[in-house]
């Protein structure tokens, strides 16, 4: 199986698509949206090399999750390796949500076999670049230009969950003390957290 360059992994999240999901953030993005939430994930420099088989096994060992979400960075920059993961988790009955800065039209008109393969294992596609001037509180997206596209009908977006109420932010603390923040925090929340971290 192919290898992934990971920026991060979270075993359980309710902020990255419908339901409870494992999350893979890949390292490297050619799009580099001006007001990106994760500019540290732009560089293609190696961060954490993991085989698709290893990360698939990690996900399949989890209990009480609905599936996996691919984010980044840009998932379609590592499409083949993520498709391998997606195939394994779908075989086990899990669903796949993929966030991308590309539009659906760009992905389907590119004639890229790797992209087609990743689209083929994606149940729910969140497509389009983040545009700060169009920031919104809609479920699953950061800006109103982005599209939520069901490719298989296996992931329901019409049932109420925490994201349906707008703002959702999660803080996860690893055993070593590292804090991971994920979701779509509003600007005032980011300012408040930054001030508290500075002791203000």
Complete domains list, the chain, with CATH: 3-160 (3.20.20.70)
pLDDT score, position 82: 98
Residue 190, token pair as written in the block: 């980011």
CA angle 152, 153, 156 (to 5 degrees): 135
pLDDT score, position 164: 46
Cβ atoms within 10 Å of 7's Cβ, excluding its own: 21
pTM, to two decimals: 0.84
Q: What's the DSSP call for residue 134?
A: G
Q: Alpha-carbon distance 200 to 195, whole Å?
A: 5
Cis peptide before 187 (omega within 30 of 0): no
Residue-wise pLDDT tens digits, 28-54: 999 998 888 788 899 999 999 999 999
Mean pLDDT of all residues in 72-85: 97
Residue 13 backbone phi and psi in degrees, to 5: -150, 145
Residue with tokens 């920059």: 77
Residue 122, token pair as written in the block: 């994606």
Burial of 181 (0-12, 13-18, 19+ CB in 10 A): middle
Which among 117, 109, 130 is positioned nearest to 90, based on CA atoms?
Answer: 117
Mean pLDDT of all residues in 111-121: 96
């Amino acid at each position: 199986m192919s290898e992934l360059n990971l920026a991060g992994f979270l075993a359980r999240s309710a902020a990255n698509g419908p339901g409870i999901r494992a999350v893979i953030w890949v390292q490297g993005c050619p799009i580099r949206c001006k007001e990106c939430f994760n500019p540290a994930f732009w560089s293609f420099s190696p961060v954490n090399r993991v085989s698709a088989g290893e990360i698939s096994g990690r996900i399949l060992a989890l209990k009480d999750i609905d599936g996996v979400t691919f984010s980044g960075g840009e998932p379609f920059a590592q499409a083949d390796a993520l498709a391998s993961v997606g195939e394994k988790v779908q075989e086990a009955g899990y669903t796949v949500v993929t966030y991308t800065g590309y539009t659906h039209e760009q992905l389907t008109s590119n004639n890229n076999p790797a992209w087609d393969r990743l689209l083929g294992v994606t149940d729910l596609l969140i497509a389009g670049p983040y545009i700060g001037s169009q920031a919104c509180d809609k479920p699953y997206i950061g800006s109103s230009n982005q599209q939520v596209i069901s490719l298989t009908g296996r992931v329901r977006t019409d049932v109420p969950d925490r994201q349906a109420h707008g703002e959702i932010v999660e803080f996860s603390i690893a055993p070593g003390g590292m804090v991971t923040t994920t979701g779509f925090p509003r600007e005032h929340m980011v300012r408040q957290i930054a001030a508290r971290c500075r002791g203000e």
